[in-house]
Amino acid sequence: MILILILYLVLALALFLIPKKLSKGIPFPLAFMQLVFFVFFISQLSLVETEKARIISIEWIPYLGLNLEFTLDGLSMIFVLLITFIGFLVFIYAQVYMKSYAGTTRFYFYLLLFSGSMLGLVLSTNFIQLFIFWELTSVLSFLLISFFNEKEKARKAAFQSLFVTGFGGLCLFVAVLLIGSIVDSYMFSDWLDKAHVIKSDPRYLPALIFVLIGIFTKSAQFPFHFWLPWAMQAPTPVSAYLHSATMVKAGVFLLARLYPVLGGTIEWDYIVTFIGALTMLVGSYLSITQVDFKLVLAYTTISALGILTMLFGIDTKLSVKAALVFLFVHAFYKAALFMLAGYISKQTGTRLIPKLGGLMKFTPWGFVIALISLLSMAGIPPMLGFIGKELIYEAKFDSPWMSSILIFLGVTSNVFMVAVSFLLLSKVFLGQSKTSIKSHNTKYKLLLFSPGILAFLSLGLGIFPDMLTPIIEPALNVIHSGNFQIKLKLWHGFNQILLLSMITALLGLLLFIILNRYKSVIKVWNRINSQIFSISFTNVFFKGLDRFISFSGKNTRLIQHGYNRYYIITIILYTSLLLILQLYLTRGWEIGLTFNLKPFYISGLAVVIAMSVFFSVFSKNIIFTISAMAVTGYGISLIYLYYSAVDLAITQIIVETLMVVMFVLVLQGLPKFASLSSRMAKIRDGVISLVFGTIMTIVTLKAITVDFNTSISGYFVDYSYLKAYGKNVVNVILVDFRALDTLGEITVLSIAALGVYSLLNKRK
């Protein structure tokens, strides 16, 4: 399993090595590879049935007790099969679909990496590792949505989806850490063993809420659903793969995975069921009034995801079984429809339903596929969708609580679904043809291959649903630990569920006829919609974002005002404040030194230096200022000399001299001294500097009186001659005892010199 994951990564990187000429043929081998993996995993199916789970674990960070752990059990098997199989079809589809665009290598790189990380996600049973894959899929989704990054809308959509799913990812991470802190492990097996501990812990509820936020953002549940319709800016293969069949199902996967750990409590049941049911209703309701083919599909996807979530909330064996079957149902018909939508927009140049019509004549095969898929979506026998819907109804009947409300909501939502299916069918394929297929392009024929296979599965598995049982059974056993035998049948006999299905279909047909005949109904509907949903989530999202940006912009401008002086003032004032505080706390003004002026010539020197400081501060003439500065420097060097620092004195004198020469050199190019500051500013700065100067005086006095530990210096003096054969202790420290420091210092000097050189050197 790990080899397969690594293969995905390596191959994805290797794509860039393929020369341009051959890059057109990339997807076929990749599709074939996905097919091989699919077959490989199918062959593992019997293993999963008998052994229950196959675990590979590798040491990762042993001192944190983290191991990389990959588990192939019934649950991950379902998703693995979906990912590889749909992946196979999508790559074939993309071969034709993406041909005319630039940057296809990049596209396949993302897509392949996505396949790999999605596989990693479903195979991980270490939750830290799972989180990493989870975020990877979010990022790749971002990159794929923004594939047409020259379009502003695509960029916005991608950003929005990343923002929402990234936010959810962080919430998930918080939850993982919370539960990890309860159990003290990140392994799924440990979590499972201590499920009852987790559920009784006070941290359970926050953890649950964070997990669910993560799941709901990923699976586009209300109120986070708004990013999914926008994500339709992505190329169609991406919509079919990520945003209907796999990535958005990652949330559902996590629900199923965590169900044995976190599920079964009242909080879980209520929140998950309620949000799921709400999403189901909102999705299907909003889908009716959409005019873009892909948007219709997007909203029905939201609805389907809602159904899946709700089923995990109902929390019975029947509901989980229904969810697992519906997973396949939805993946088959929705991916097929997305691909078909892509095909139609390629052929006609539009995806807007009002502009389409009568396509049956042009693409009879397309019509057949659409017919099967839409019937499956509507839940009409003998399609697989019918079985899925029957199971859902059954689960709702069986629900331990609120069964009637759930059934009512479900029927309402399904009525919308039926109506949408018929609307799509009639408006796009029947009726008058409004657009002609321009040049009956045969090169797009291959686009029908993948949806064809999917439609065939929708039909075939509908008639022989038992083919699915070997896949579903192990998964069910993982989620609801135990051994279950299930049977899937198309024909359940006459009972209340069948009755319900018939009512749904009839009501849906009625709605469709009304909508089709009386155009004004839709208009009224639209108006009501805009009244109810006057706040568009997307608008709120972007407005909030804008506000945040302008808020932080204002703050930044306040702090980062761009005036050098004020930065310095801030630093100086703050330092002064801290020093004053420290002096006040330690009563630092009490210094046991006596004031004297001996010897008088040093006092005189100090006075000269002080005068030259004043002079250079207040002088208006550059030359005078610089001379005064030099006097200060020379004066200080005399102080060094008097107080036993010969080397310092020499260095200071030479440096001062050099400095003056350099100043004079640059001076020729610089303007005259300008008096730029106002009088007020000068007074203010004067006060600040005097305060700072006073404080520094006290600090210096403290530094003199505080007795430092002199043992190091003593060592240097004692051993300077004995060990380093030098009589000049200062020099010995520089070149022997602390030579590494000196090396650092001359390096700094060299860098400063190179900096000056590169700043001012004229390029020839």
Partner 1 sequence: MNSVILQIATRYLKVLFLSFACIAVIRGHNYPGGGFIGGLLAALYIVYSSLAFSVQQIRRQLKVKPQYYIGLGLLCALLSFMPSLVSGAPLMKGIWFTIDSSIIGKIKLGSPLLFDFGVFFTVMGVTLLFLFTLSNHK
Partner 2 sequence: MEILLSALTGLLYAGGVFLILRRSILKFIIGIIFLSNATNLLVFLSAGIVHGKPAFLDGVESDSGKLADPLPQALVLTAIVIGFGIVIFTLALKYKFFITTSTNDLDQLKNTDV
User: What residues numbered 551-580 form the site for partner 2, per CB under 8 A?
Assistant: 561-565, 568-569, 572
User: Could you tell me which residues are beta bridge partners of residue 73?
Assistant: 53
**CB of 693: closest distance to partner 2 in angstroms?**
3
Length of the chain as a residue count: 764
User: What residue 467 binds from partner 1, partner 2, none (CB within 5 to 8 A, per partner kind)?
Assistant: none
Sites for partner 2 among residues 611-670 (CB under 8 A): 613-614, 616-617, 622, 625-626, 629, 632-633, 636, 639-640, 642-648, 651-652, 655, 658-659, 662-663, 666-667, 669-670
Q: How many residues bind partner 2 (CB under 8 A)?
A: 102
User: What residue 54 binds from partner 2, partner 1, none (CB within 5 to 8 A, per partner kind)?
Assistant: none
Rounded to an integer, what is the distance from CA 447 to the centroid of its chain?
32
> In this complex, which beta carbon is closest to partner 2, that of residue 24 or of residue 561?
561
Which residue reads 């095969």 in tokens? 365
DSSP secondary structure code for residue 361 in this structure? T
**CB of 655: closest distance to partner 2 in angstroms?**
5
**CB of 25: closest distance to partner 2 in angstroms?**
49
Residue pair 522/515 in contact by the 8 Å Cβ criterion: yes
**CB of 551: closest distance to partner 2 in angstroms?**
21
Q: How far is it, in rounded angstroms, from Cα 462 to Cα 328?
A: 11
Sites for partner 2 among residues 312-351 (CB under 8 A): none
Helix or strand (DSSP H, E) at 711: helix 711-724
**CB of 640: closest distance to partner 2 in angstroms?**
7
> In this complex, which beta carbon is closest to partner 2, that of residue 132 or of residue 698?
698
> In this complex, which beta carbon is closest to partner 2, that of residue 489 or of residue 561?
561
User: What residue 743 binds from partner 2, partner 1, none (CB within 5 to 8 A, per partner kind)?
Assistant: partner 1
> In this complex, which beta carbon is closest to partner 1, that of residue 467 or of residue 743?
743
Among 405, 513, 521, 748, binds partner 2 (CB under 8 A): 748
Per CB under 8 A, which region of 226-234, 253-261, 428-436, 735-743 contacts partner 2?
735-743
User: What residue 739 binds from partner 1, partner 2, none (CB within 5 to 8 A, per partner kind)?
Assistant: partner 1
**CB of 624: closest distance to partner 1 in angstroms?**
20
Helix or strand (DSSP H, E) at 61: strand 53-61
The count of other CB atoms within 10 Å of the CB of residue 630 is 17
176-180 own/partner pairs: CB under 8 Å, 24+ apart: 176/127, 176/128, 176/130, 176/131, 178/203, 178/206, 178/207, 178/210, 179/127, 179/203, 179/207, 179/261, 180/127, 180/128
User: What residue 509 binds from partner 2, partner 1, none (CB within 5 to 8 A, per partner kind)?
Assistant: none
Chain residues that interact with partner 1, rule: CB under 8 A: 646-647, 650-651, 654-655, 657-658, 661-662, 665-666, 668-669, 723-728, 730-732, 734-736, 739-740, 742-743, 746-747, 749-750, 752-754, 756-757, 759-762
Q: How far is it, in rounded angstroms, from Cα 359 to Cα 192?
A: 53
Q: How far is it, in rounded angstroms, from Cα 349 to Cα 496?
A: 46
Sites for partner 2 among residues 714-733 (CB under 8 A): 714, 716-718, 720-721, 727-730, 733
End-to-end Cα spacing for the chain: 60
Sites for partner 2 among residues 218-237 (CB under 8 A): none
734 binds partner 2 per the rule CB under 8 A: yes
User: Could you tell me which residues are beta bridge partners of residue 69?
Assistant: 57
**CB of 667: closest distance to partner 2 in angstroms?**
8
Q: How far is it, in rounded angstroms, from Cα 613 to Cα 633?
A: 10
User: What residue 13 binds from partner 1, partner 2, none (CB within 5 to 8 A, per partner kind)?
Assistant: none
- Residue 258 sits at φ, ψ, to 5 deg, of -85, -10
Q: How far is it, in rounded angstroms, from Cα 570 to Cα 572?
A: 6
> In this complex, which beta carbon is closest to partner 1, that of residue 581 or of residue 749?
749
- Reading the block at residue 63, the tokens are 């001192």
**CB of 732: closest distance to partner 1 in angstroms?**
7
SS3 67: strand
Among 49, 606, 627, 638, binds partner 2 (CB under 8 A): 606
Among 280, 475, 261, CA closest to 389 = 280
**CB of 562: closest distance to partner 2 in angstroms?**
3
CA angle, 275 as apex, 271 and 279 as ends, to 5°? 170
> In this complex, which beta carbon is closest to partner 2, that of residue 193 or of residue 741?
741
**CB of 608: closest distance to partner 2 in angstroms?**
10
Contact string 663-702 vs partner 2 (x = CB under 8 A): x--xx-xxx-xxxxx-------xx-xxx-xxxxxxxxxx-
**CB of 738: closest distance to partner 2 in angstroms?**
7
> In this complex, which beta carbon is closest to partner 1, that of residue 13 or of residue 753?
753
Question: What is the DSSP track for 174-240?
Answer: HHHHHHHHHHT--BHHHHHHTHHHHHHSTTHHHHHHHHHHHHHHHTT-TTSTTHHHHGGGS-HHHHH
**CB of 739: closest distance to partner 2 in angstroms?**
11
> In this complex, which beta carbon is closest to partner 2, that of residue 485 or of residue 678?
678
> In this complex, which beta carbon is closest to partner 2, that of residue 209 or of residue 622?
622
- Residue 536 sits at φ, ψ, to 5 deg, of -85, 135
> In this complex, which beta carbon is closest to partner 2, that of residue 100 or of residue 678?
678
Among 493, 488, 497, 495, CA closest to 463 = 488
Question: What is the DSSP track for 635-675?
Answer: HHHHHHHHTT-HHHHHHHHHHHHHHHHHHHHHHTTSPPP--
**CB of 744: closest distance to partner 1 in angstroms?**
10
